[in-house]
Chains A and B, each alone.
Chain A
Amino acid sequence: MQEFFQQVVSGVAIGGIFASLALALVLIYNAMGLVNFAQGEMAMLATFVALTLINRGVSYWLALPLTLLIAFAGGVAIQRVVIRPVERAPLLALVIITLGLATLLNGLAGFIFGYVPRSFPSPFSADTVDVVGVFISYRDLGVIAVSGLVLLAIYFLLQRTTLGLTMRAAAHHPEASRLLGVRVSWMLALGWGLASAVGAVSGVMVAPILLLEPNMMQSIIIYAFAAAVLGGIESPLGAVVGGLIVGVTINLAGAYVPGVGGDLQLAVGLAIIIAVLVLRPNGLFGRAAVRRV
């Protein structure tokens, strides 16, 4: 029984990691109706920037906001330079550009920083909490807590501020928004900047656990997609809940479903994606989209 709870708790721990990246994916989708295949790589690069600052002597608590600013600026820059020229292009073009970006950023990180895994400092200690024989570390809890805070911040921004409303309007009804005087293009840039910053938070929280190296996010991006899709790709709350569910599911499947074992955890992630998309495409918290003819 204890093993079962440990599996669940470990699943929650890894699920928090999925959730943090899924939040960034959801933000981009809210801004643009697009899944950004380069989100993980952008987050990873931002984390490397943070490490570089810290190695140069900048204190962690100063490096963190600096990194977020740099990530924000980077996201905006990418939108202006790479995405805007193809804004009105069909979906395929956008998907390919984000794929190209992902390849580019990954290669760049490998080229600049090398491939040896590195440790990354965490504001949370590596100690574990012992709850009747089941263990979770403070770092894992920290990831979940920070994701929760980011979730609140995003919710507040998107649902309760005019800026958020403007962003959502620009994403869903660009033409109408333009008529109302919204600078749609800059709203998109803002969306990218925010998503990039959220990704940076994810990277910085996750790197102490996953170890910082260029391929760090590649191991979890599919799970993050599964989390976002499961939760409803528009819903930040869905991203967090989805992440936790995906984490627990792959752990339990790996531990208890014969034939899955530890080898096919990723296949479980794929199965979740397909199952959700076929059975309930809007996920747990998404709204059904009406198809206009």
Chain B
Amino acid sequence: MLQRVRSAPPRYWLVVIAGVFFLGLPTTVSSFLASEWGQALILAIAIMGLNILVGYSGQLSLGHGAFMALGAYTSAILAHRYKVDYLLTIPISALFTGLVGFLFGFPALRLSPLYLALATFALAVVTPSLIKRPEELTGGVQGIVVTQPDPPGPARDVFAAITGSPMTSDQWIYYVSLFCALVLFWVAWNLIRHRPGRALRAIRDGEVAAAASGVNVAAFKTLAFGISAFYAGAAGSLYGLSTGFVSPDAFPVDLSIQLLVGAVIGGLASIPGPLLGAIVAYFLPIGANQWVPSQDWIPDQVASTVKNAGPAVSYGVLLVLIMIFAPNGIVGLVRQGYELLNRRLRGAGDREAGQMPPDPQTV
């Protein structure tokens, strides 16, 4: 056993460290920061779903915000109207959204990547007005308030024992989100490692060749849509819980773009990519809007320009720069750096046996 631990590749240590970091986070930082990181984790789940669709199966969707909205509203309606326990609604919403996504996948089969992008973009733009329409169901513009649950007894006791202060709702919700993220990332990792992942990648890299090799292209593509929507639905459900409120304006087209940004910045077709991308996509606008003006060492002109130009400009600039200089995102950069380091240190390349070469972007 010890032998296995010692010879485990560095990647596994990274996962352990990340796990410890996220588990311990709420014990050391303020409740507010914990809720912020919770939101980033929720975004990571949605981006993971998008990644399965875009990065692994090669279908471009610009409308995943709509699936998040579906998941969020399903949960909110079940909890608010039918008094279902909120935590129970999370898997229900995820399954329902996954089913809708799966059905969505059928017409999507007929669309070329560009047209799929167009159609899903239009869907993202229309989503708020679609939500407003069935007023009795969705509460229309008034939205639906989601009561945030108090932490349950055992969790509260454990937390108090470790930190000495009572656990807040936000911190409990953080742990719920973390749990979901861990489970869903683990599922995605397994999917990708095994046959479904290989099939999807084969389809992405050459549909005709994949079909010729016996892969059921249509089935896998629609399945990818369904799975990806499942993740978005789960994320949406957690989103409603974390913000305490669902309303049409909480799901503008900017959300779908934010998901795509996160997916690309983190690095498509990778497992850690969505997490890293979510962290950047979530904290960048906050950083641009608040952190920059508060730093004294940044000259006033620059700071006020950044603040006034707003997150839009910094997002846009970042997106363009990343696509030009680092199209494989952060993970791609890290891999490149690692390869470079390896070559320098060991002379020859030292690829671990059995590891697949990193995915280039070929959508």
A–B touch (CB < 8 A): the answer is yes
Residues of A within 8 A of B (CB): 33-35, 37, 82, 85-86, 89-93, 95-97, 99-108, 110-111, 222, 225-226, 229, 263-264, 266-267, 269-270, 273-274, 277-278, 281, 293
A229 to B118, Cβ gap below 8 A?
yes
B315 to A103, Cβ gap below 8 A?
yes
B122 to A225, Cβ gap below 8 A?
yes
Write out the residue numbers on chain A whose beta carbons fall within 8 Å of the beta carbon of B268. Answer: 92
Distance in Å: Cβ of B203 to nearest Cβ of chain A:
14
Complex CA distance for A274 and B123, rounded to whole angstroms: 10
Say whether, besides A85-B324, A281-B115, A96 and B319 are in contact (CB < 8 Å). yes
A278 to B110, Cβ gap below 8 A?
yes
Interface of B is mostly: helix
A103 to B119, Cβ gap below 8 A?
no
How many contacting A-B pairs (Cβ < 8 A)?
Answer: 141
Binds A, one of B41-49, B236-244, B306-314: B306-314
Write out the residue numbers on chain A whose beta carbons fall within 8 Å of the beta carbon of B313. Answer: 103-104, 107-108, 111
Write out the residue numbers on chain A whose beta carbons fall within 8 Å of the beta carbon of B113. Answer: 91-92
Q: Is B105 an interface residue (CB 8 A)?
A: no
Q: Which of B122, B317, B324 contacts A86 (CB 8 A)?
A: B324
Distance in Å: Cβ of A84 to nearest Cβ of chain B:
9
Write out the residue numbers on chain B whose beta carbons fall within 8 Å of the beta carbon of A274. Answer: 107, 119, 122
Say whether, besides A35-B118, A103-B257, A270-B123, A281 and B316 are in contact (CB < 8 Å). no
Chain B interface residue count, Cβ-Cβ cutoff 8 angstroms: 47
Complex CA distance for A92 and B361, rounded to whole angstroms: 9
Which of B130, B316, B362 has the most chain A CB within a 10 Å cutoff?
Answer: B316
Complex CA distance for A90 and B269, rounded to whole angstroms: 14
Say whether, besides A104-B317, A107-B312, A108-B309, A264 and B121 are in contact (CB < 8 Å). no
Write out the residue numbers on chain B whose beta carbons fall within 8 Å of the beta carbon of A85. Answer: 324
A100 to chain B: closest residue by CB: B319
Write out the residue numbers on chain B whose beta carbons fall within 8 Å of the beta carbon of A90. Answer: 361-363
A293 to chain B: closest residue by CB: B208
Q: Which of B117, B317, B319 contacts A35 (CB 8 A)?
A: B117
Write out the residue numbers on chain A whose beta carbons fall within 8 Å of the beta carbon of B126. Answer: 222, 266-267, 269-270
Say whether, besides A100-B319, A263-B129, A273-B119, A92 and B60 are in contact (CB < 8 Å). yes
Write out the residue numbers on chain A whose beta carbons fall within 8 Å of the beta carbon of B119. Answer: 270, 273-274, 277
B316 to A101, Cβ gap below 8 A?
yes
Complex CA distance for A277 and B126, rounded to whole angstroms: 17
